[in-house]
Amino acid sequence: MLSRVGATAPKQTPYAAIDRERMPRHVAIIMDGNRRWARERHLPAVEGHRRGIIALREATRFCKDWGIPILTVYGFSTENWNRDPHEISLLMELCVLFASNELAELKRNGVRVNVIGDYRALPRACVEALDGLMLETAGNRDVVLNLAVNYSARSELLQATRALAADVRAGRLDPGAIDEPTLASYLFTADYPDPDLLIRPGGEMRLSNFLLYQVAYTELWVTPIFWPAFNRETFAQAIVDFQSRQRRFGA
């Protein structure tokens, strides 16, 4: 039977449908749509990126509050160097500001920051800011926030393959002993389980060179909401949908 929701009906929220006993251990997010969000509002692109930092803060708080221990976010890809040089310069400045402005918030929520990708190729100020952020949060234990910065999954796999080959050549590794766990141990994410859920705001239906090896059996959830407008309720909707699925891992 169909029912009509009147104008005065209370707003429905997804929180009550979340099962705390079935939360994902690891959520990955492609933080997409900052520039489109800004363009729709006739704002410069940097305003979308600034608002995206607020969305990341809320997503991290959600993980703390709902017991999700690992959050990996795609912050800056190697392909992003092809953007306008002025925008890239502003992004580098925001990286430094994020490290300083969010430190107290991250400590308060028990968040340990880890950076994956070739971030040491960034300007020195960014490298120092990210190194400082990892050092200052190293003792936190509630949530691991993996920031994928200057990251490329293909580059990650290429580096892992070269490292494996070097160890085989040096006699430290038997080629016949190389299996999936061995390969995974050479990736940036070696210390973490594969993501259970990958969220992509912005509506695009692609992985964009993000965690290509790790998401082989990850559940995907795409929303047209741009990342700056992504909030705790949107995150909750993704979790409810994730919990409604039956994960078979190919079986």
Q: Where are the domains of the chain?
A: 22-152+197-207+218-243
Task: Supply angle C-alpha 97, 103, 108, rounded to 5.
Answer: 150
How far apart (Å, rounded) are the C-alpha atoms in residues 22 and 218?
15
Task: Check if CATH label 3.30.830.10 holds for domain 22-152+197-207+218-243.
Answer: no
Task: Identify the pLDDT of residue 2.
Answer: 34
Active site residue 32: yes
pTM of structure: 0.91
How far apart (Å, rounded) are the C-alpha atoms in residues 24 and 68?
6
CA 44 to chain centre: 24
Active site residue 150: no
Q: Which residues of the chain have pLDDT under 50?
A: 1-10
CB 238 within 8 A of CB 223: yes
Task: Identify the pLDDT of residue 78.
Answer: 87
CB 28 within 8 A of CB 218: yes
Q: Given phi > 0 = left and psi -120 to 50 = alpha, else beta, which region is 136? A: alpha
**Catalytic residue (one of 19, 32, 131, 191):** 32
**Catalytic residue (one of 65, 80, 231, 241):** 80
Quick one: three-class SS letters along 131-182? HHHHHHCCCCCCEEEEEEEEECHHHHHHHHHHHHHHHHHCCCCCHHHCCHHH
Task: Identify the pLDDT of residue 30.
Answer: 97
Task: Identify the pLDDT of residue 90.
Answer: 85
Task: Identify the pLDDT of residue 13.
Answer: 77
**Strand pairing report for 219-222 and 70-77:** unpaired
